[in-house]
Structure 1
Amino acid sequence: MMTRESFDRSTNTRIVSQAIQEMGIPKVDITDRYDVSGSAFRITSKRAYHHGTMLIDSNLENLRGALRPTPNINIVDSKAVGSVRSPVTSLIKNSNTYNTQKEVNHVQFMNTLSREFTRHYYPNSDRCLSKTQVLGETELQTNPIIKTGYDELKSWNWIYGQTPQFTRRIEVEIDDTKNHQIPVEITYKNGVISETKINLGSYSSSVKQKICDLFPIGNPIDF
């Protein structure tokens, strides 16, 4: 976090790149989207926030499988920001490639990254870096602040309630339609159904009511 005036995406990305090189991984390329890690930025009237992720020793095969659209779900409209699929790797994989003798793990990365940010933003300061603290199951049970944050991340509101509005199209068949599927568009807002559009064709309003009963307004995401 820093002042809005001092924030620069390319500068912060370069600092992350330098930290990785300090760990003995020399081949680090910054893309035109300022990517060298999973970064996100938020700019407010007075402050700028930069947060992100780094793949240190991740199972890349599992990752590739997780980052694919859920099959058989037809999204026809969405207010979500579209994702850009990109090749990924991990620090461990590249450290093995270059036979580095330096240790590559989470604590080492955080310490190195903190040191590089301090060098850049406080070059003439005697400021001492605080030691990186690893939080585990013990802290989760004994620290109420950490437990509150952990519980929030597991909550329905966090996982589904913050979902950007989107519309899903499905085909519905009920007894009255005699094996004919009726197209239905269901709009979800904040994780619950906010609107249902039904293309009835020649079917009666009773069919519409039965379909609406299947997807009542306010029902949460169920897929």
Structure 2
Amino acid sequence: MLAKAVATEAGANFINISMSSITSKWFGEGEKYVKAVFSLASKIAPSVVFVDEVDSMLGRRENPGEHEAMRKMKNEFMVNWDGLRTKDTERVLVLAATNRPFDLDEAVIRRLPRRLMVNLPDAANRAKILKVILAKEDLSADVDFDAIASMTDGYSGSDLKNLCVTAAHLPIKEILEKEKKERATALAEGKPPPALRGSDDIRPLRMEDFKLAHERVEV
């Protein structure tokens, strides 16, 4: 969220990549994805390339158990990254986030000259983050941002987003289960199945949804 805010403030396009989005089971595909990311970043510049959990992608290369394909992908990332640094006209910024900075490869650390320690948000800031995440959502009157913030001690901005996504799934799940029962009843009675419900039929998010989501989201 912080990286996206930087891109928005700078008027730059935002590209978010992670280990899961750039790796492939096919040998050599990872390098192609890396080239594609940097090629896209250059074409839509100014842009910000954000590498989430960078330690999982660009960790220490001396790891003896590391697969050859992974090493090649890392090298390809470094080469393309250096290519940006040699072009004065290139307006592409690489940002990275990690909870394990000591696991990063030294070559990566050298390429990230500025490092910021971002602490976990306190209760007041968690409430503000929740208001931003849920700004466009249909909320019941009983939703208390301060109460949710109080029960999410130790949550990061990303954790809060996961909490909200999990809570938002609950009303949808209710509708799907209700439709399933109605179709089964109609079938048993020899009647035509009822019409499927639309987004207007989804109830507002309630405080209870966030409490249930809190039980399911691991931090």
Q: Which is strand-richer, 1 or 2? A: 1
TM value normalised by structure 2: 0.29
Q: Which has the larger radius of gyration?
A: 1
TM value normalised by structure 1: 0.28
